[in-house]
Amino acid sequence: MRTRLLITIVFLAAIAICMGAATTIATPESLWKSVGTITESQTTPAVDARDYSSVWTDLSAAKTVKWDVHPDTTGIELRFQTTANADAHVVEMWVASGATYSGGTSEESFMLAGVLTLTGGQQVGPNSNVYVDTITRTDHTIGTSVITDSGNDRVAVYRADLRGYKKVVFIATTLEASSTLYVDARSY
């Protein structure tokens, strides 16, 4: 009986390895890239203005960062840069799977994926600004996420599973006066 059980376990493990289940590791496969900047704050979209056209097409470029995520992406890492140490920002992340439902007959809506509170640190980034060193998350509504290296004047990173969403919009509902918020990302 034990021999059959052991053979069954080994067989199932071999199948899992052949299918990639045991060897797949969620590691970012792309370099960091700038996905945009925000220079003005924007209020949260009204309940009746969260359809695809209202968010993706109509919101001002100065007030949002719109990221069309690669179709093979399952997860993302985000880091932010700001103008000065201790700059404080609040950023909402909105997601949609595409422009329309399957079949193209109805317009998709954006959903709030999370709210991030950001604080600038002292480590200088490539834009002669400083990296955000502290990220706190509230209202996280999709998949799993983790914040790494938050605090201590280093580069804080927000990592999230997108759960299949391919359109991401960042809106700074609070933006430090006279500052620019840079959004950097990489995907896996």
Looking at residue 83, its pLDDT comes to: 96
Domain boundaries, the chain: 26-187
Residue 76 pLDDT greater than 60, yes or no: yes
Residue 176 CA to residue 90 CA, distance in Å, equals 9
Residue 109 pLDDT greater than 90, yes or no: yes
| pTM across the whole model | 0.82
Beta bridge partners of 119: 88, 134
CA neighbor of 36 nearest in space, from 185, 159, 182, 186: 182
Looking at residue 20, its pLDDT comes to: 47
Name the token pair of 98.
């595409």
The more confident residue out of 141 and 109 is 109
Mean pLDDT of 96-124: 92
Mean pLDDT of 148-168: 93
Integer angstrom CA distances of residue 32 from 50, 80, 157: 29, 11, 12
Looking at residue 14, its pLDDT comes to: 58
CA neighbor of 58 nearest in space, from 74, 81, 37, 42: 42
Residues in the chain: 188
Mean pLDDT of 54-65: 94
Burial class, 32, CB count within 10 angstroms (exposed 0-12 / middle 13-18 / buried 19+): middle
pLDDT band at 9; cut points 50, 70, 90: low
Looking at residue 21, its pLDDT comes to: 43
Looking at residue 22, its pLDDT comes to: 39
8 Å CB contact between 120 and 80: no
Integer angstrom CA distances of residue 162 from 24, 95, 103: 17, 8, 22
3-class SS of residue 142:
coil
